[in-house]
Chains A and B, each alone.
Chain A
Amino acid sequence: MSLHKIWLVLKREYLTRVKSKSFIIITALTPLAFVAFIGIIVFINISETEVEKRIGILDETNVLVERLIELNEARYFDVGSDPIDSLRARVLDGSLDGYIILTDSVITHTKSPTLVHGGSGGLSFISAVRSDLREVVREEKLSRQNVSDEIRDIFETRTGLEAVKLTEEGESEDNTLFASALGFILGLMIFFGIFFYGALLMRSVIEEKTNRVLEVIASSVKPLELMYGKLFGVLSMALTQFGIWIFFYIGLSIAAAPVAGMIMEAQMSSLPEGATEAAAASFDASTLENMIIEPSIFIYFILFFFLGFMIYSALFAAIGAAVENEQDSQQFMPIVGLPIFVAYFLNTKVMQAPDSSLSTFISIFPLTSPINMISRIASTSVPAWQILLSILLMVATFFGIMWLAAKIYRVGILMYGKKATFKDLAKWIAQS
């Protein structure tokens, strides 16, 4: 094994990629796409609540409608004593989204009223209306029974929950929501990273075959040297890209707090005296502090991306060596793709319950660990032995897969004009 030759291959692979236009474009656009993606999700969530449906209330009890309007002015309004026919007509022509007739038996006999609507309400809309009705009916019943204020208070109790995270440094503001979101995003990035860069490596191997440059190279370099050189070349490029992104994220998050503070101050000075305090109370500086990610998470992120990339890219390189063109690679993709997709889909489970036994298992199992372990590390405190075990298992898996991949690679790169099958691959592994 000649390190000098690996270095030459690495350098070529790295430089031709980093200098290419597509590298610059992808480096610049990916964060924008990410921000846009999150923006779209937020926008969808906001716009969902913004579009309010108008429900006409034909109230025979004369008490419930007031309470409903008090509860949600935008949603409910009193139709007085309009005839039902005209209400139906308005629902059909779309000027009214729906109507409810409330009779006294709704209060006295707990009869379920009927919502007549023009469709397109969605489940969340119907359940929102239902809970509104429950609330007003309960309130009305309580007031009819002349229940004392104390008991009324009991019903109005909304117990909240403050969460505080205890660490070596003492108690700190809880940031579970941010932490699990971060965990999920980091896992997602590793998932995309492995797939994107792995496929890049595979294409690069196939390209050498289709360009017929491979045998020229093979007369100077051992297949394994070539494979390592290309693998580390693509890895260096990936790390460069991640490095740029992390650098900008840290820069942004450091700059964000003072900038946000300045904006708040400017706004507060323009507010009248009394409002200033209220605004100051509503602005909690610690929410921004929570957005600063601990450096150790970045280190873990790089480490797990590194190991995950090594495991999968060895497989990708072997597939590239076994096939003649990209279409032929499809038949082998499910083998590589399955574990990584499983890891991706189960990552939502990890986010919900990072300490469950399923989460623990998939974060240690070497083929899913690169994605699931980083999500756990970001969202909970993982015992050190589990992290260590997962790393050891990944390293061992890497060497095992590399050993197999190198055999396929050695034979495959000299095969032209033949579509390899799984049987061929087994033969190649056996014969070399």
Chain B
Amino acid sequence: MSVIELRNVFKAFGKTKAVNDVSFEVTKGRIFGLLGPNGAGKTTTIRMINYILTPDSGQITINGIEASPETQKMIGYMPEERGLYKKMKVFDQLMYLTQLKGVDASEAKKAINYWLERFEASDWKKKEVGELSKGMSQKIQFIATIAHDPDIYIFDEPFSGLDPINSETLKEIIIELRDSGKTILFSTHRMEQVEQMCDDICLFNQGQAVLTGNLRHIKSSFGENSINLEFEGDGSFLDKLEGVRINNRSTNFAEIRVLNGQNMQDILKLAMEHAAIHKFERIEPSLTEIFISTVGEDNIKRSEIQ
């Protein structure tokens, strides 16, 4: 069952086509990753799902209802540009934000107390947000997103600006939410996060959804066309290889995508002549590689997806 559905959605700002004929479905109880470089249209898409912006044409439905103030209540949204009122007390602030989502006062109070308890933050209730540390206010921000107990969670670049510990906590919570039957959609330009967490993905480039579907299926459909190479010694032989694309290269590691049916054994031979090989493994391509081969090497800025 699809909880979020986009059909032929367009959105332009002046002459820029921010979102250009995008369609995808997010299935209930799964983690959906929206990925692509900065400026690909992810945030605009997310804002339209949240009814902050409206599409120029096309249709967006949440649980079968067209995006509207009604559907806003079903979603817990944490934008990339996030923050809280600095001079407002933690509890008042959470009450305000939760009530704006249509929850009545007594229920909001119960939920907020529960979550503050769970995050061991009950002591901060009367503190102004400005007094809290960054990690603390990130927790409050998260409570503000989930206190109205929505079915759908949308996080725009959730890991940007998080310290490693909070980042790990958030990952765990996202997976926990999924396991309890909630639906999660998040966007990121960091491919490795998607590989670790997502069930389904949608690849964005220049306002278009270039690849959509189940992450496992997508990867296996590309076949084991890549090599994971670990070595010790002079890595300059990698530059001599032809008909390959090297991703994720470092001093003693390289991920090699083999193009036009090049023989992998030849690569191994060449490598052995120049360096000590610790590992040589045939693998499915990484998401970075999938993204590059989907949109074409000339159409992307590498620095933005790694």
Q: How many residues of B contact A (CB 8 A)?
A: 27
Cβ of A108 within 8 Å of any chain B Cβ, yes or no, is no
A423 to chain B, nearest CB (A): 11
CB closest residue in chain B, given A215: B79
A322 to chain B, nearest CB (A): 16
Contact B88 A16 (CB under 8 A): yes
Contact B72 A219 (CB under 8 A): yes
Some 20 contacts from A to B, beta carbons below 8 A apart, are A8-B99, A8-B100, A12-B88, A16-B88, A207-B85, A208-B85, A211-B83, A211-B85, A211-B86, A213-B82, A214-B81, A216-B77, A216-B79, A216-B97, A217-B97, A217-B100, A220-B72, A220-B97, A220-B101, A414-B52
Chain A 212-250 residues near chain B, CB threshold 8 A: 212-222
Chain B 51-88 residues near chain A, CB threshold 8 A: 51-53, 69, 72, 75, 77-79, 81-88
B4 to chain A, nearest CB (A): 14
Contact B81 A212 (CB under 8 A): yes
With A222-B69, A431-B14 known as contacts, the answer to whether A216 contacts B101 (CB < 8 A) is no
A324 to chain B, nearest CB (A): 12
Chain B CB within 10 Å, residue with most, of A216, A220, A221, A431 = A220
With A2-B69, A414-B47 known as contacts, the answer to whether A213 contacts B53 (CB < 8 A) is no
Contact A215 B14 (CB under 8 A): no
B95 to chain A, nearest CB (A): 9
Q: A214-B81, A221-B100 are in contact. List 12 more A-B contacts (CB 8 A).
A: A208-B85, A211-B85, A215-B79, A216-B83, A216-B84, A216-B97, A219-B52, A219-B77, A220-B100, A414-B52, A427-B14, A431-B14
Contact A414 B53 (CB under 8 A): yes
Cβ of A155 within 8 Å of any chain B Cβ, yes or no, is no
Chain B CB within 10 Å, residue with most, of A5, A12, A207 = A12
Contact B84 A211 (CB under 8 A): yes
CB closest residue in chain B, given A212: B83
Task: Describe B's contact surface by its main secondary structure.
Answer: loop
Task: Please pick, from B50, B79, B83, B100, the residue contacting A5 in the complex, using a CB distance under 8 A.
Answer: B100
Contact B83 A12 (CB under 8 A): no
Q: How far is the CA of A215 from the CA of B69 in the complex (A)?
A: 15
Chain A residue contacts of B14, Cβ below 8 A:
427, 431
Cβ of B96 within 8 Å of any chain A Cβ, yes or no, is yes
Chain A residue contacts of B78, Cβ below 8 A:
216
Contact A216 B82 (CB under 8 A): yes
With A2-B69, A8-B100 known as contacts, the answer to whether A219 contacts B50 (CB < 8 A) is yes
A323 to chain B, nearest CB (A): 16
A155 to chain B, nearest CB (A): 72
Partner-B contacts on A (CB < 8 A): 2, 5, 8-9, 12, 16, 20, 207-208, 211-222, 414, 416, 427, 431
Chain B residue contacts of A215, Cβ below 8 A:
47, 52, 79, 81-82
Chain B residue contacts of A207, Cβ below 8 A:
85
B146 to chain A, nearest CB (A): 12
What 4 A-B pairs have minimum CB-CB distances, sorted nearest first?
A212-B83, A220-B100, A215-B79, A219-B77
With A2-B69, A219-B72, A431-B13 known as contacts, the answer to whether A212 contacts B100 (CB < 8 A) is no
Contact B144 A216 (CB under 8 A): yes
Q: How far is the CA of A416 from the CA of B81 in the complex (A)?
A: 9
Q: Residues 132-159 of chain B: 1 if any A CB is under 8 Å from the residue's CB, otherwise 0?
A: 0000000000001000000000000000
A30 to chain B, nearest CB (A): 22
Contact A8 B83 (CB under 8 A): no
B123 to chain A, nearest CB (A): 22
Contact A219 B83 (CB under 8 A): no
Q: How far is the CA of A431 from the CA of B53 in the complex (A)?
A: 13
Q: How far is the CA of A221 from the CA of B77 in the complex (A)?
A: 13
B256 to chain A, nearest CB (A): 39
CB closest residue in chain A, given B148: A220
Chain B residue contacts of A213, Cβ below 8 A:
82-85
Q: How far is the CA of A220 from the CA of B79 in the complex (A)?
A: 12
B298 to chain A, nearest CB (A): 28
